[in-house]
A and B are shown apart, each in its own frame.
Chain A
């Protein structure tokens, strides 16, 4: 499927990508474009390749076949192309992956200072700005283990934003959270979506998906099975597998 109606080059182009882990094929010829400013939500059963797909896009996993382009840059094996691609992408993980030995500010400043060569002063000012945006400026000097799960995930989002990415990838950002903390994180992501950030979010929070997504993607067994606008996706899905999946996830 293509989304270049506006004539511009897509921000992310995934073209015929396949990935194997040993003999097991985790992605089977996946093709998908994401336009600048577009919000894509990916869902699908466990083991369907959702994480693998977004990890391939920022070079955390190698694809063996096909091509991935991010903002025009071809993702190849070379250090240079991987560096160029990952500098445009922010990634938020299910398990937060904050640096436990650094304070919240330390977590936010490490990337800008070490990889962008920003001065500590500038990095600190920017970090505070993004902490305000995720609404926890008062936690700046705490350490990750002193924060709740929801706060930790918001710090992780702020840490990614400090790298000023063009694209944000979320891999089940709320799956590890207690129910009462899910909303505070989803609110932050929703605001980010409204600000025009290009994003791919793997999630099973369907209410959130309906509100935020420009496009829904359903994956199963390493393939994209269904790709549609949310109203169509939720009301008239085409494939049997997608209908079954939505049935399970919406009416349990």
Chain B
């Protein structure tokens, strides 16, 4: 099943590489040619942002998944007040562009909170906050898709609310929303590039800095594109592997 998929991906990449190499006059691949010492240094410099991009995205999504769940649950409560809180949070947070949120957290928040905040945590807070609204909606839909009979069976074996959620509802809901959660992680990896505007040394920022000194935007940004592409293909493969694992867990 997976094979033709992989072959197609390989073909597309090869074709892209050949097209790029074909119109060679404008290209100056020497800037990132690992065979030359300066090219190798540049390449290492570019790839050096990978760790920050991954760390930032993973930290942010870990927080936003937990926060999203915490915001989804009141949205399913019988109380109108709790549901209202959920609605307001989701609508407001979803309406703010991520870039604006990043600027607001990094430059604005220190003024009210009277603490300075480093770029990493500013990025994490902004991305996590923005994503938590989407995660909340994903969790709400996932939990609502679970059959009412599951709650009734849990009731009949005397489980309390917390155990019902933790051992019965969420394990099933999470299996269902796994593809959506995977999408959010991909989205997060891409949006982390915006944190470059406040100076975080992640992939995009590194590329920008190198472009300024080398003046080879075409080659450097092409490498940047490939970096994100590889990263995200790996993540997608990981998510699909997890989906298969969990399905095997249920004996199907």
Contact = CB atoms under 8 A, between A and B. Distances in A.
Contacts, number: 71
A125 to B, nearest CB: 17
Interface in A151-179: 156, 159-160, 162-163
Question: Chain A interface mostly helix, strand, loop or mixed?
Answer: loop
Question: Chain B interface mostly helix, strand, loop or mixed?
Answer: helix
Interface in B160-178: 160, 163, 167-168, 171-172, 175
A243 interface: no
A146 B150 contact: no
Interface in A51-108: 58-60, 83, 86-87, 89-91, 93, 95, 97-101, 103
Instruction: Report the interface size class on chain B.
Output: 20 to 34
A212 to B, nearest CB: 22
A32 B168 CA distance: 34
Contact of B156 (A90, A116, A143): A90
Contacts of B19: none
A172 B147 CA distance: 18
Given A101-B250, A143-B250, A111 B149 contact: no
A83 B153 CA distance: 14
A120 interface: no
B158 interface: yes
Given A101-B172, A101-B175, A114 B167 contact: yes
A89 B156 contact: yes
Contact of B159 (A58, A95, A100, A115): A115
B2 interface: no
Contacts of B160: 115
A142 interface: yes
Interface of B: 147, 149-150, 152-153, 155-160, 163, 167-168, 171-172, 175, 249-252
7 shortest A-B CB distances, which residue pairs? A111-B157, A143-B251, A97-B149, A115-B158, A97-B153, A91-B156, A114-B163
22 contacts: A58-B155, A60-B152, A60-B155, A86-B158, A87-B158, A93-B149, A93-B152, A93-B153, A97-B152, A99-B153, A99-B168, A101-B172, A110-B157, A110-B167, A110-B168, A111-B157, A114-B159, A115-B157, A145-B251, A156-B153, A160-B156, A162-B157
